[in-house]
């Protein structure tokens, strides 16, 4: 977890209720309802969407930094 970003960690921790439902079904004998399935699908879709946004942001930021390093702007010198 130390090498990941805060936004990625929060997205992954946002899926915690899905794991609680999975454990409840497997160990506690709970039943999987249509509403629980729909909620789980929405949470997973939202997590993937958030990770895609973060990945795009990281790529764009990294490209900008590389461009700045490759083509430094000259600093004016005073006479």
Q: What is the pLDDT of residues 22-75, one digit of tens each?
A: 899 999 998 999 998 998 899 889 888 988 888 888 888 766 666 666 666 666
- The pLDDT value recorded for residue 2 is 66
pLDDT surpassing 80 at residue 77 = no
DSSP 29-64: -PPPPHHHHHHHHHHHHHHHHHHHHHHHHHHHHHHH
Q: Which of 11, 5, 1, 3 is nearest to 51 (CA)?
A: 11
Task: Tell me which of 2 and 39 has the higher pLDDT.
Answer: 39
Task: Tell me which of 26 and 13 has the higher pLDDT.
Answer: 26
Q: What secondary structure letter does DSSP report for 71? A: S
- The pLDDT value recorded for residue 61 is 74
pTM of the model: 0.59
């Amino acid at each position: 977890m130390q090498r990941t970003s805060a936004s990625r960690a929060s997205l992954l921790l946002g899926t915690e209720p899905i794991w609680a439902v999975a454990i409840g079904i497997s160990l506690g004998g709970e039943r999987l309802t249509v509403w629980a399935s729909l909620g789980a699908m929405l949470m997973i879709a939202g997590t993937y969407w958030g990770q895609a946004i973060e990945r795009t942001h990281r790529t764009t930021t990294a490209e900008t930094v590389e461009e700045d390093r490759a083509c430094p702007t000259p600093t004016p010198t005073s006479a």
